């Protein structure tokens, strides 16, 4: 598995000559299944491999189900039973749907305000051992430096944390793919 971060667009109100480091996170993993199966596992069996717990789910430790609606305009959402009854949290909408090569979706964390969003692109490339799944999560520079999603971290620490977060998820994807063979 690999990960990296790169410079991104200008921050709002910044010097036009300056670039913000850490606008994107990239993480990749090799899975021992073909691209069609990898795309299907990532998008249709998401709830089986997406880690649980407070770092990865809006429901925290409560039972929940995470879904992609498999089409452009479809949602990424989580359903769970909250204290006041059934809850549904929409994390974003699918912007591009190109099975089994790639898809792109908006990402809005639970602490994003209306209009705040980032973008995630997931690609699937055939390799001799199966498929290389690559996640590129970009658009962090559009959020203020003091945004709650950053948990008070400077840009470098935040981007590293997001790389580790995606790395944890992709490791889980790889483990699930190995068990499913």
What's the pLDDT score for residue 21? Answer: 58
Please report which helix (H) or strand (E) contains residue 9, including its range.
none
Instruction: Give the chain's domain count.
Output: 1
> Quick check: is 122 in a domain?
yes
**First and final C-alpha spacing in the chain:** 20
Domain that holds residue 105: 2-46+94-180
What's the pLDDT score for residue 153? Answer: 87
Other Cβ atoms less than 10 A from the Cβ of 6: the count is 14
CA distances from 87 to 45, 65, 77 (A): 20, 11, 10
Angle at alpha carbon of residue 76, lines to 44 and 61, rounded to 5°: 90
What's the mean per-residue pLDDT of the chain? 88
Q: What is the pLDDT of residues 161-173, one digit of tens each?
A: 999 999 999 999 9
> Quick check: is 138 in a domain?
yes
Residue numbers in the chain where pLDDT is lower than 50: 3-19
Residues 6+ apart with CB under 8 A from 146: none
142: domain CATH number?
Answer: 3.30.530.20
Q: What is the pLDDT of residues 33-70, one digit of tens each?
A: 999 999 999 999 999 999 999 999 999 989 999 999 99
What's the pLDDT score for residue 23? Answer: 84
What's the pLDDT score for residue 181? Answer: 73
Give me the half-sphere count of Cα atoms (radius 13 Å) on the Cβ side of residue 9: 10
What's the pLDDT score for residue 154? Answer: 86
What's the pLDDT score for residue 141? Answer: 85
How many helices (H) does the chain have, and how many strands (E)?
A: 3, 8
> Quick check: is 161 in a domain?
yes
């Amino acid at each position: 598995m690999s990960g990296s971060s790169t410079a991104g667009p200008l921050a709002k109100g910044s010097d036009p000559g300056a670039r913000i480091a850490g606008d994107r996170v990239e993480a990749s993993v090799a899975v021992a299944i073909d691209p069609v199966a990898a795309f299907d596992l990532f998008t249709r069996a998401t709830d089986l491999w997406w880690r649980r717990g407070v770092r990865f789910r809006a429901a925290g430790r409560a039972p929940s189900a995470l879904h992609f609606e498999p089409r452009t305009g479809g949602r990424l959402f989580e359903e769970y039973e909250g204290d006041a009854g059934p809850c549904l949290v929409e994390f974003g909408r699918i912007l591009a749907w190109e099975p089994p090569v790639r898809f792109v979706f908006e990402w809005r964390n639970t602490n994003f305000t209306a209009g705040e969003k980032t973008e995630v692109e997931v690609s699937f490339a055939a390799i001799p051992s199966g498929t290389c799944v690559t996640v590129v999560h970009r658009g962090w520079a559009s959020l203020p430096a003091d945004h709650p999603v950053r948990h008070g971290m400077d840009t470098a620490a935040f981007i590293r944390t997001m790389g580790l977060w995606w790395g944890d998820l992709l490791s889980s994807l790889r483990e699930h793919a190995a068990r499913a063979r």
